[in-house]
Amino acid sequence: MKTFNISEWIKFRSNLSKDLSIGFVPTMGALHEGHLSLVKQSLLENEITLVSIYINPTQFDNSSDFKNYPHHLESDISILESLSSDNLFLLIPEYKDIYPDDYAFKVSENNFSRILCGKFRKGHFDGVLTIVLKLLNISGAQKAYFGEKDFQQLTLIKDMVHAFFVPIKIIACPIVREQDGLAMSSRNKRLSEEQRRQAPEIYKVLNQNLNKEKAEQYLHQYGIDLEYLELHNNRKYIAANIGEVRLIDNIDVKEEHKL
Ligand code: AMP
């Protein structure tokens, strides 16, 4: 699998035929089956798939969370290579290249980004929207794949693409879960064995009809601190901390969910 920095990718892309379909999958690495479901869908729907791995500093509101975010570049490369596709390419940007402005310019949304995760992580979605806009422009893709795992992020990205007339189709992919219901996440790698056993309670709470206070009490027994549990447009969203690890999940309340 060929790996590029930004200028190498832009050069490579400019030499490709303009009719070639490109699918793009941006990630922060520490790849798992959730990421791979996006990559596989893109490989099926496009002639070329570009995956990016970049732990974007501007979207972290907390420096220890940024420092402790899992870095697994070597194993990520092996995982992508194990897909054995000649149509798969990897972009690994560097800060100085992707932020030539040192984050002087940013994309801000002042409605949906202010609730749920945005209420607790100041500036988070500015960082997300800014990096995603840069990456979408660099990719040159016609389609970009995002997981419903980060449903608020997915919604804001769709809205940004619409607002700025970005010529790219945003494809939403369903949440991939572990057998016990826990939504796959790179952050799960930071859980101790005991925390990992308790983490599926977050999904269980989401599927019960509990108010915030009852949910808080329920999760507390498992050493989990509820940050928020909220219904918005037929979707129930949750964020909770297990020790230092912050996990999020969501479900469509119109669908029945079973473990
Ligand atoms: P991340 O590396 O966490 O920034 O995620 C990169 C992309 O993978 C985002 O579009 C996520 O929504 C998506 N993703 C992460 N975890 C999952 C999952 N469990 N199921 C589906 N998509 C996921």
- Residue 210: pLDDT over 90: yes
Q: Which of helix, strand or coil describes residue 162?
A: helix
Domain boundaries, the chain: 2-173, 186-248
Task: Please answer whether residues 249 and 242 qualify as being in contact, where contact means their C-beta atoms are separated by less than 8 angstroms.
Answer: no
Segment 202-226 mean pLDDT: 97
Q: Is the CB of 199 under 6 A from ligand 1?
A: no
Q: Is the CB of 76 under 6 A from ligand 1?
A: no
The fold of the 2-173 domain, in CATH, is Rossmann fold (3.40.50)
Task: Please answer whether residues 49 and 89 qualify as being in contact, where contact means their C-beta atoms are separated by less than 8 angstroms.
Answer: yes
Say how far apart CA 198 and CA 188 lie, in whole Å.
Answer: 11
Tokens of 243: 């020790």
Q: What is the pLDDT of residues 27-81, one digit of tens each?
A: 999 999 999 999 999 999 999 999 999 999 999 999 999 999 999 999 999 999 9
Q: Is the CB of 183 under 6 A from ligand 1?
A: yes
Q: What is the pLDDT of residues 166-194, one digit of tens each?
A: 999 999 999 999 999 999 999 999 999 99
pLDDT recorded at residue 145: 99
pLDDT recorded at residue 242: 98
pLDDT recorded at residue 93: 98
- Residue 259: pLDDT over 60: no
List, in sequence order, every beta strand (DSSP E) within the chain: 2-4, 22-27, 48-53, 88-91, 143-147, 169-173, 224-232, 235-242, 245-252
pLDDT recorded at residue 137: 98
Q: What is the CATH architecture assignment of 186-248?
A: 2-Layer Sandwich (3.30)
Give the residue, out of 150, 180, 190, with the most ligand 1 atoms within 8 A of its beta carbon, to mutate for a pocket test: 150
What percent helix, strand, coil does the chain show, rounded to 5?
40, 20, 35
Say how far apart CA 4 and CA 19 lie, in whole Å.
Answer: 21
Q: What is the pLDDT of residues 114-144, one digit of tens each?
A: 999 999 999 999 999 999 999 999 999 999 9
How remote is the CA of residue 147 from the centroid of ligand 1, in Å?
5
How remote is the CA of residue 15 from the centroid of ligand 1, in Å?
30
Enumerate residues 6+ apart whose C-beta is below 8 A from 169: 142, 143, 144
- Residue 258: pLDDT over 70: no
Q: Is the CB of 50 under 6 A from ligand 1?
A: no
Task: Please answer whether residues 187 and 160 qualify as being in contact, where contact means their C-beta atoms are separated by less than 8 angstroms.
Answer: no
- Residue 256: pLDDT over 70: no
**Residues with active-site annotation:** 35
How remote is the CA of residue 69 from the centroid of ligand 1, in Å?
14
Q: Is the CB of 173 under 6 A from ligand 1?
A: yes
254 pLDDT tier (thresholds 50, 70, 90) = confident
Tokens of 170: 């945003």
Beta bridge partners of residue 48, listed in sequence order: 22
Task: Please answer whether residues 147 and 164 qualify as being in contact, where contact means their C-beta atoms are separated by less than 8 angstroms.
Answer: no
Segment 215-234 mean pLDDT: 98
Task: Please answer whether residues 55 and 95 qualify as being in contact, where contact means their C-beta atoms are separated by less than 8 angstroms.
Answer: no
Percent of the chain with pLDDT over 90: 98
How remote is the CA of residue 35 from the centroid of ligand 1, in Å?
5
pLDDT recorded at residue 100: 98
Segment 239-254 mean pLDDT: 96
Do β-strands 235-242 and 224-232 pair in parallel, antiparallel, or remain unpaired?
A: antiparallel
- Residue 224: pLDDT over 70: yes
How remote is the CA of residue 83 from the centroid of ligand 1, in Å?
18
Q: Is the CB of 184 under 6 A from ligand 1?
A: yes
Give the residue, out of 27, 152, 182, with the most ligand 1 atoms within 8 A of its beta carbon, to mutate for a pocket test: 27
Q: What is the pLDDT of residues 142-169, one digit of tens each?
A: 999 999 999 999 999 999 999 999 999 9
Q: What is the pLDDT of residues 85-107, one digit of tens each?
A: 999 999 999 999 999 999 999 99
Tokens of 119: 């209420």
255 pLDDT tier (thresholds 50, 70, 90) = confident
Closest ligand 1 atom number to CA of residue 149: 12
